[in-house]
Structure 1
Amino acid sequence: MNSISYQNDTAELIGHLRAGVSPFHTIRYSAGILEAQGFEELKLDSPWSIQAGKSYYVNIFDTSLAAFSVGKDTVSDGGVPGLRVAASHTDWPCLMVKPSPELTCGPYAKLNVSVYGGPILNTWLDRTLSLAGKVCVRGTDPFHPEVLLVDFARPLLTVPNLAIHFNRDVNKGVELNPQKDMQPILAVLDETLNKDTFFLDLLAKETGRNKEDILDYEFYIYNCDEPCFLGINDEMLSSPRLDNLTSVHACLSGIMNSRRKNGINAAVLYDNEEIGSSTKQGAASPLLERIMEKVYLSLGYGRSDFLNALFGGFLLSLDVAHALHPNQAEKYDPKDRICLNEGVALKLAVSQAYATDASYVSVIEDICRRNSIPYRKFSNRSDIRGGSTLGSISSCLLTMPTVDAGVPILAMHSSRELMGIKDQWALAELTRRFLG
C-alpha cells in the first residue's frame, strides 16, 4: 500500500461525510456518484429489463439504495450466476425534530426533539448544529405529494450546557433527560418571529413554499463540524458520521470497481440500523431478497435458480468496529482487539451478534492476505455485551453466508468520531477485491 492509495480513499470518504448530513442526502449523493459511473436508475415499482454487462441502481424510499452489476458473460456461460453482496447503513445516532416542535421559555425559541438511536448525548452539547431532511408539500393529488430535500447547511442550533456553578458535581457525571435536557435553541424571539409557528415559517422561507401547503417533514439535526486530520503526521481523521459513512463509501467503491465477468455483484445501503432495522427500508425487511429476485427473474431465471443463488451467495456486512481506547484498555479483550491504522476489523461473536463463522471468515482472510490488506480479528470482552450489526439480521432472512467487518474507530456514537486514515483504504480495497 502506498500513500496515494489511502489518500484517494480518504478524500472520497470526506466527500461522503460532508454530503451525508441525513440519510436522504447520503442516498442522493450516492446516486449521483453511481450515475456518473454509468449506472442506470430503475424504479422499485416498475418492470425491469436488465442486460448482462450493465450496472443499475434503485432508490428505495429515499433513504436506502441497492446497486448491482451483471457480468457480461453471466447469461451466456449458462448455470445460475453467483451472487456477492456488500451492505452497510446510511443512518447514525442523532436528534430528530418532532411533529409539533415549537417550544418557548421566556424569549428563547426551542425545538422539541426525539433521540434517534443510541447517541452519547453529552457530545451533542455546545456544538454548532444544523438541520437536514425533507419537506412534503401538496402535489397534484393526495397520493403524490411533492418531496423537497432541504439542507440548511449553516449553524442554526445549539444545546447549551448548564454552567458548573449550578451543578458543582457535573464532572462526576450527569444523566441527561432526552425530553428535558436535549432541546436545542433555535432563536431568541423578537417581533419578526411567531412563537407558535417559527419553525414552520422557517421551512416555508427555506423552500419558497406557502406554509399552508406544507403537509409534513422529517428533519435530522446534525453536527456542522468539518472533517479534519489529527496527529503529528495527519494520521487520524476526526469527523461526524464515520459510523457508518465509512462503510457506505466502501460499498460504493466496491460496486463501481467490480470487474467480475460472470456473476452478479450488489451493494446495499440500508436505513434504520441504529433503531433495529425493522422497517420497510431496513435490513430486517425482505427488501434485498425481493430486489435480487426481481433481478434474477428479469434475466430469465426461475425462483428455484434464485434460491440457489441465495444459498450459494456471500454477504459482506460492513459497519464500524471498536478501536482500542488508550485510556480504557481494560474494557477490551486482552488479545482480540484492534487499534487505529491496523486495517480492517473482522468481527466475531459466539452470540452471532456479528454474523461470522470460521469457513467464511477464512474467505475474507485469504482475500486480505493475497492482496496485502491489513486486518485483525476483533471480539468483545466476554463480560461486556457489544453492539450488533445488520449482518446477523440480513443473513437470517437471506440464509446467506455472511461476514461482519469494518474500520476501527474511537468515540463510536459520539457526535464526532475518530479513525485512522489508512483504514479506509483497507476496507474499500477489501470490498473491491471481494466483489471482484
Structure 2
Amino acid sequence: MKFDNEQLLKYIGACTSPYHTVDTSLQMLLDSGFTELSLEDEWQLDSGSYVVNVFGTTLFAFHIGKKPEHTLRIASAHTDFPAIRVKPNPITSMKGYTKLNVEMYGGLIENTWLDRPLGAAGTVVLKGKNAFDVDSVLVDTKRPIAIVPNLAIHMNRSVNDGVKLNRQKEMLPILMMERNNEDNPTKPLNNRNNPSLFSESDTQYDEWTKFLADEVDCDPSEILSYEMTLYPTEQGCVLGTEGDFISSPRLDNLTSCFGVLSGIIQAKKMNVNGVRCAILFDNEEVGSRTKQGGAGMILPNLVKRVYDALGYSNQEMDSFISKGFMISSDVAHGLHPNYPEKNDITNIPVLNKGLSLKIACSQSYAGDAKAIAIVKGLCEEADAQYQIYVNRSDIPGGSTVGSISSAMLPIRTIDVGLPLLAMHSARELMGAADQEQLNRLMNHFLGGK
C-alpha cells in the first residue's frame, strides 16, 4: 500500500513543541501495543515492546525479541526544531501595544517568521504538595495568539537589499492591545471563560501568566514556570501542479521522528529477534549537551538498563554494542534550483530522488566506509531510493546528533535524512515521494531480520 503523506502532515500538525512531539509519539506507540516504563522504576523485562518518556522531551522505545543476543540496532532522530521561545516575565509594552519578550531557539531563518500567525505550545508547571511534587500540564493554543509584523517598505526603502534583524528589538511578537474593563465591560481583563474562578489578587499577575492560567484552567498563583514555544499555525500541505512537494513547518526533524517511529512499530509487528531501539533526542538544535540530548549519557544508560534487566553482563553488553549498528536520521540539504552553486559538484541530492546518506570526512556526520556500505545494502534490500550528500568543500554545513551520540555509545553509525529546501525556515520544503523511502529503510532496519 502506497504511503499517505496526510499521515505525516497530521503528525507534524500535532507536534508543535518537543513536549508535544513526545506526547504524540508516545500515544502512537501505546496505541500500537507498547508498554510504558518509567525512569524512576526498576525494570523487569522480558521479550516485548516498551517505551520510556525521558524528561518530557526525549523518547526511548525498544523491542526485545525472543533471542535478545541476536543483534542490536538503534535508530535516532531529534524532537526539537528552530523556533521562538517565550522568556520568563515576558510582558513588555509600547504605546498601548503589549508584546512578548522572547529568545530564539536554534538557528532559525528569522525573517521567515515575520507576518506569520503564531500559536503557543509547551508545558506549564503548577504547584504541588511540596517543592519536589509539582504538576506539568501540556498546553497548545491551537490558534494564533501573536505575530511579529514586518516594517513597511515605505519606512525602510532598502528592505529588499537585505535586512539584519535585532533579536531583542525587532523579533518581539505583538500579543494584544492594552485595555481596561471600561474598554469592553462585557469581557474580563484576563479573557477567561469563567472569571468567578479567580480572585481579586489576579490583578497582580501579568497578561501572559493570566493567559496561561486560562489555558490550563487554574488560578495564576498556581503557575511556577513554563517552557513555551511559538509556532506557525499554518498547516503543512502537498503542493505543485502534480503534487510533487510538501511545504510545512518542522520538517526538520519531524520527518525523521516519523520514520523512526514507523520502524520501531514494525519491529513489534514482526516480533524480530535481538534488541531494536528508537530514541528521539531533544536539544539537537542547540548542541545536544543536555541530560536529554545526544551528547549526554542518556542513551548509554538506557541501553545498559535494558541489558542489565535481561541479565547480561557488562562484557556481554559491550560485545553486543561492538557488533551493533545505529542510523541517525536528520534532514539534509537538497539541491536548490535557484542556487545550484551551493551544492557539491558531484554529489547532488535532489528532492523526490530518495533519502540522503550524509558523509563528511570531518565526522560532522557519523560514518565510515563499512557503515556506508551497510546502509546502501539496507536501502537496496528495502527497495528504498537513496543518494549521497556531501558538503561543498568551501561551505561547511551543519552537524547532527549521529557523531555526538556514537561518541558516547561506541557503535558503528551512519547519518541519513531527507533532502530539504529552506531548512530552518518557518516553512520548509521536501519531496512528496521521499518520506516513503525513509520509512522503508527504517521498517527494514528495525523491523527486519
Fold-level similarity (TM above 0.5): yes
Residue of structure 1 aligned with 2:407, choices 392, 396, 416: 396
User: Equivalent residue of 1:392, what SS?
Assistant: helix
Task: Give the counterpart letter for 2:98 in structure 1.
Answer: A
Cα distance in 2 for residues equivalent to 1:6 and 1:419: 15
The answer on 1:344 being equivalent to 2:338 is no
User: Equivalent residue of 1:365, what SS?
Assistant: helix
Structure 1 residue 204 displacement after superposition: 1.1
Q: Deviations over 1:20-45 (max 9, x none)?
A: 00000110110100001110000012
Structure 1 residue 279 displacement after superposition: 0.5
User: Equivalent residue of 1:338, what SS?
Assistant: coil
Cα distance in 1 for residues equivalent to 2:327 and 2:72: 11
Cα distance in 1 for residues equivalent to 2:317 and 2:35: 22
Q: Deviations over 1:95-121 (max 9, x none)?
A: 100011000001101000010000000
User: Equivalent residue of 1:139, what SS?
Assistant: strand
The answer on 1:319 being equivalent to 2:308 is no
Residue of structure 2 aligned with 1:149, choices 105, 122, 138: 138
Contact 1:189 1:195 in 2 (8 A): no
Cα distance in 1 for residues equivalent to 2:272 and 2:282: 30
Which range moves more in the overlay, 342-351 or 255-264? 255-264
Residue of structure 1 aligned with 2:36, choices 27, 41, 45: 41
Residue of structure 2 aligned with 1:30, choices 9, 16, 25: 25
Contact 2:100 2:174 in 1 (8 A): yes
Contact 1:12 1:249 in 2 (8 A): no
Runs of 4+ in structure 1 displaced over 4 angstroms? 192-196
Q: Deviations over 1:177-220 (max 9, x none)?
A: 11111100000111144797011111111111111111111100
| Count of paired positions | 425
Cα distance in 2 for residues equivalent to 1:231 and 1:204: 42
1:101-250 equivalence runs, <5 A? 101-192=90-181, 193=189, 197-250=206-259
Task: Give the counterpart letter for 1:218 in structure 2.
Answer: E
Task: Give the counterpart letter for 2:362 in structure 1.
Answer: S
Structure 1 residue 141 displacement after superposition: 1.7
User: Equivalent residue of 2:279, what SS?
Assistant: strand
Q: Which runs of 5+ in 2 are unaligned?
A: 182-188, 190-202
Cα distance in 1 for residues equivalent to 2:7 and 2:285: 24
Contact 1:104 1:195 in 2 (8 A): no
Cα distance in 2 for residues equivalent to 1:203 and 1:85: 38
Cα distance in 2 for residues equivalent to 1:180 and 1:268: 37
Residue of structure 1 aligned with 2:428, choices 409, 412, 417: 417
Contact 1:229 1:235 in 2 (8 A): yes
Contact 2:347 2:388 in 1 (8 A): yes
1:48-67 equivalence runs, <5 A? 48-52=43-47, 54-67=48-61
Cα distance in 2 for residues equivalent to 1:361 and 1:38: 33
Cα distance in 2 for residues equivalent to 1:206 and 1:65: 26
Residue of structure 2 aligned with 1:13, choices 8, 11, 14: 8
Match of 1:68 in 2: 62
Cα distance in 2 for residues equivalent to 1:97 and 1:337: 38
Cα distance in 2 for residues equivalent to 1:129 and 1:261: 43
User: Equivalent residue of 2:98, what SS?
Assistant: strand
Residue of structure 1 aligned with 2:418, choices 400, 407, 412: 407
Contact 2:9 2:237 in 1 (8 A): no
Task: Give the counterpart letter for 1:395 in structure 2.
Answer: S
Task: Give the counterpart letter for 1:248 in structure 2.
Answer: C
Contact 2:383 2:440 in 1 (8 A): no
Cα distance in 2 for residues equivalent to 1:269 and 1:369: 25
Q: Which runs of 5+ in 1 are unaligned?
A: 75-79
Which range moves more in the overlay, 356-365 or 272-281? 356-365
Structure 1 residue 260 displacement after superposition: 5.6
CA RMSD, 1 decimal = 1.2
User: Equivalent residue of 2:344, what SS?
Assistant: coil
Contact 2:120 2:141 in 1 (8 A): yes
Match of 1:77 in 2: none
Which range moves more in the overlay, 11-20 or 211-220? 11-20
Contact 1:128 1:157 in 2 (8 A): yes
Structure 1 residue 379 displacement after superposition: 0.4
Match of 1:100 in 2: 89
Structure 1 residue 72 displacement after superposition: 2.2
The answer on 1:353 being equivalent to 2:346 is no
Contact 1:102 1:196 in 2 (8 A): no
Cα distance in 1 for residues equivalent to 2:245 and 2:365: 26
User: Equivalent residue of 2:423, what SS?
Assistant: coil
Contact 1:21 1:222 in 2 (8 A): yes
TM-score, length basis structure 1: 0.96
Task: Give the counterpart letter for 1:14 in structure 2.
Answer: L
Structure 1 residue 305 displacement after superposition: 1.1
Structure 1 residue 12 displacement after superposition: 2.2
Task: Give the counterpart letter for 2:115 in structure 1.
Answer: D
User: Equivalent residue of 2:433, what SS?
Assistant: helix
